[in-house]
Amino acid sequence: MQSVDFTTITAACCQLRADWIPARVEQVYQRDRYTIALALRTLKQRGWLTISWHPQAARLHLGDPPPRIPDTFTFSDQLRHQLSGWALVAIEAIAPWERVLDLQFARRPGDPIQWHLYTEIMGKYSNVILTDADHLIVTTAHQVSAQQSSIRPVQTGQPYEVPPALTGTFPRADESPERWQERVSLVPGRLSRQLLKAYRGLSPAIASSMAQAANLDPNCSTETLNASDWQRLFQRWQEWLQLLKTENFTPGWTEDGYTVVGWGIVKPAQTIHTLLNRYYTDQLNQQEFKRLHHQLSQKITNLLTKLRLKASTFEERLQQSDEADLHRQQADLLMAHLQAWQPGMQVIELSDFETGKPVQISLNPEKNAVQNAQALYKRHQKLKRARNAVEPLLQEVQEEINYLEQVEASLNQLDTYNTPDDLQTLQEIREELIQQKYLDAPEQRSRDVSEGSEPYKYQAPSGFEVLIGRNNRQNDQLTFRTAGDYDLWFHTQEIAGSHVLLRLEPGAVADEADLQFAADLAAHYSRARQSDQVPVVYTEPKHVYKPKGAKPGMAIYKQERIIWGRPQTGSHYPTVDL
């Protein structure tokens, strides 16, 4: 993940000063353990300023409104108490070429500064610290004790101390090309690395893009550069310094990330803040998506393994109970032929009542014939009672397996992150598993799932809308709330998968192509998506029911018809925004 460097901070602050200073703080909200948002209002607009001390994504930019869930963090509560109603009147860097900003607050513009919100964007050491007018720390995102750092403890009630200055030379626009080249090439090495070591204020992204803008390989050795190469690189160096001076930034997307300098742009961005907000939202969402997907997949796999083992044990016990009638028949034979028994016998062979074939019966030599028959009768009763006890247990386990396989099918469909809706869908699955007692509720709050993610949308050949549930919440929503009297409901036959709804207008009739289209999608969004053909049932929504006490996504149906779906064909149908 690309880190916010000095150039990016300068660009973000430039736009903030131009459009958002002064602004009144109306609200403070903490999104997660690393991010707060300040609601700012000016005479012309209102927006949310995102401030993050994330170890990999520390940043400051205008962002999206926070979710509508309670904020229970102590840090934001303290900021809210101190800063609500105050005016943000200035954003200043504490020192040249440093990534530490001082957000200054006063009662109103022109009044003395009463609060300082120091935003330290320093990788894994990033922090946000609120001090009063005397620079005494009032609250901090995370405290650093003397045991953790003897150089710079950060604790409430203590004076605020600026971070230790970075080593390195300040870049200067008036430095001669010869002196600049000498400094960069003093120790031979990789070009981008030597730029970083020779001067402060650069980042790996700036150094690499600077070299590429000069038609040079960032990984080439400084010893391989000729005079023309050094001249082109110095021109780019001067362009960068001039850009910082004039603050005429050009934000945009690059092949590897983003830039505010203008080099290597493949797609321009509207503003610096929209660029930063989208980039870090996507990057953090993708990290969270991978983590959560792995966690849920592992949990479901472990649960299914245990349940299938339990079901196998129950099935074995039922197979044993199938021998109950055999024990009763043997006891009847033994009682009917008591005269054939001899003391000490371990096996007796008697003729079957119906077939006349010989039947061998194992005996306990220490018991007589009647006692052996009574033992067989008891075993018959025991196995019969076992069947009555095991059958409902097996049914309960099988229902649980069917439900978790349905969840597993939803997870398999969400194998990659593409949009924020993918993460939202995954979080809905986690919330469902928490509600069903398969997962413990996390200490940290999840994103707001009250609004809900959207189902997949397709367009059938005749123009009808096709909706596909991405998780059990959406499946229930489509089947029991969205579906109308004229629609058709599709699902793979006895195979876990998504609920598919073919929306039809009153009086409209779906032709064979529409039915096949919906069946192909139902087959694709199921556990049988790797098969060539899959049986798919379809019926009217009024014939689909949820059994009493059934888990989310579970349904039974009647008056169904069957059509063969083609998963591989369905995988090529494009989604649409209808």
Report domain extents, the chain: 6-140, 177-269, 319-399, 456-570
**How far apart (Å, rounded) are the C-alpha atoms in residues 245 and 16?**
17
pLDDT digits (tens, 9 = 90+) for 57-84: 999 999 999 988 888 899 999 999 999 9
Please state the pTM of the whole predicted model: 0.80
Report residue 107: phi and psi, to 5°.
-60, -40
Report residue 195: phi and psi, to 5°.
-65, -45
Residue numbers of the chain with a pLDDT score lower than 70:
322, 443-451, 577-578
The SS3 of residue 326 is helix
Which helix (H) or strand (E) element contains residue 489? strand 488-492
**Topology of the domain comprising 177-269:** Helicase, Ruva Protein; domain 3 (1.10.8)
Q: Strand 46-52: give its sheet, edge to edge.
A: 59-63, 46-52, 35-41, 23-32, 87-93, 100-106, 113-120, 127-132, 137-140
DSSP type of residue 574: P
**Topology of the domain comprising 6-140:** ibrinogen binding protein from staphylococcus aureus fold (2.30.310)
Beta strands of 150-263 (E only): which ranges? 252-253, 258-259
**How far apart (Å, rounded) are the C-alpha atoms in residues 116 and 119?**
9
The SS3 of residue 129 is strand
**How far apart (Å, rounded) are the C-alpha atoms in residues 445 and 436?**
18
Which helix (H) or strand (E) element contains residue 91? strand 87-93
Peptide bond into 22 cis (omega under 30): yes
Locus of tokens 């690393």: 34
**How far apart (Å, rounded) are the C-alpha atoms in residues 252 and 271?**
8
pLDDT of 104 reads: 96
Instruction: Say yes or no: do domains 6-140 and 177-269 share a fold.
Output: no
* Cβ within 8 Å of residue 473, ≥6 positions away: 428, 432, 452, 552
Residue 565 and residue 492 in contact, taking contact as beta carbons nearer than 8 Å: yes
